[in-house]
Amino acid sequence: EAEVAQSPRYKITEKSQAVAFWCDPISGHATLYWYRQILGQGPELLVQFQDESVVDDSQLPKDRFSAERLKGVDSTLKIQPAELGDSAMYLCASTYTPTGAYWEQYFGPGTRLTVT
Amino acid sequence: RKEVEQDPGPFNVPEGATVAFNCTYSNSASQSFFWYRQDCRKEPKLLMSVYSSGNEDGRFTAQLNRASQYISLLIRDSKLSDSATYLCVVESSGGSYIPTFGRGTSLIVHP
């Protein structure tokens, strides 16, 4: 069964350092999402791509976060500099281009970030 | 007001009980609604889409009330394995397929 791949699975970094996360969606999925999930809360959408284009990044803290999906396949999310409040699970999800009312997001296992 | 609101619980029920969760949304133009299940420290997985006419999948029933802007999930004959967090997802931009998650409702089923 095809899966969304993410790496690393765990990352510990010091405050003010740079950190990057990688996601490889299921083959053929044109839509890719990055979420941040703080313990006890639901996933918060950071950025949504359709192929290589950004559909929505209204919740992305652009002063420190950046995301790219240059060839419309895999994607990288970067934080620079990391802050203590960035400690969370970073989830990547993908789907076929949504049409109609119903579609399924497939999530990767996530990257758990701890900022010290 | 948050776009998607859920009672975080936890709902603590015995095996065999029936339990229902509600989720309210603020954008009346929303077109797509889903319930996802998330086990502890795992990624979310789709439980079921919510159709306008309501839908049932085994012990699970989902309903949509557009007039009152809420969706519901009913679980009958609860199993220990149903213990998880149930996340409500609403497409928040009226056709642009941008999903918004609720904070989730925690369910604990005990023997």
Nearest residue in B to A91, CA atom: B43
pLDDT band at B31 (very low <50, low <70, confident <90, very high): confident
Task: Name the residue type at position A23.
Answer: C
Query: Would you state the pLDDT for residue B29?
Result: 86
Of the CA atoms within 13 Å of residue A91, those in its CB half-sphere come to: 24
Point out which residues pair with A88 in neighbouring strands.
A113
> Which residues have CB under 8 Å from A61's CB, separation 6+?
none
On average, the pLDDT of chain B sits at 93
Q: How many angstroms away from the CA of A29 is the closest CA of chain B? A: 14
Query: Would you state the pLDDT for residue A37?
Result: 98
Q: How far apart are CA A38 and CA B2, in angstroms?
A: 16
Q: How many angstroms away from the CA of B19 is the closest CA of chain A? A: 20
B50 pLDDT higher than 80: yes
Residues in chain A whose beta carbon is closer than 8 A to a beta carbon of chain B?
31, 33, 35, 40-45, 48, 55-56, 91, 98, 101-105, 107-110
Residue numbers in B near A101 (CB within 8 A): 31-32, 49
- Decide which of B55 and A98 is more confident: B55
Of B44, B49, B97, the CB nearest to A43: B44
**pLDDT tens for residues A74-102?**
999 999 999 999 999 999 999 987 776 67
Q: Do B101 and A55 touch (CB under 8 A)?
A: no
B27 pLDDT higher than 80: yes
* Averaged pLDDT for residues A35-50: 96
pLDDT band at B94 (very low <50, low <70, confident <90, very high): low
B95 pLDDT higher than 80: no
Say whether the peptide bond before residue A81 is cis (omega within 30 degrees of 0).
Answer: yes
Q: Is the dihedral of CA B97, A43, A25, A85 positive or negative?
A: positive
**pLDDT tens for residues A52-73?**
999 999 999 999 999 999 888 9
- Residue B111 carries which DSSP code? -
B1 pLDDT higher than 70: no
Residues in chain B whose beta carbon is closer than 8 A to a beta carbon of chain A?
4, 6, 8, 31-32, 34, 36, 42-46, 49, 51, 87, 93, 96-104
Strands (E) located in A15-83:
19-24, 31-37, 44-50, 53-56, 65-68, 75-79
Residue numbers in B near A35 (CB within 8 A): 101
> Which residues have CB under 8 Å from A77's CB, separation 6+?
A20, A21, A23, A34, A46, A47, A65, A66, A67, A90, A92
**pLDDT tens for residues A5-27?**
999 999 999 999 999 999 999 99
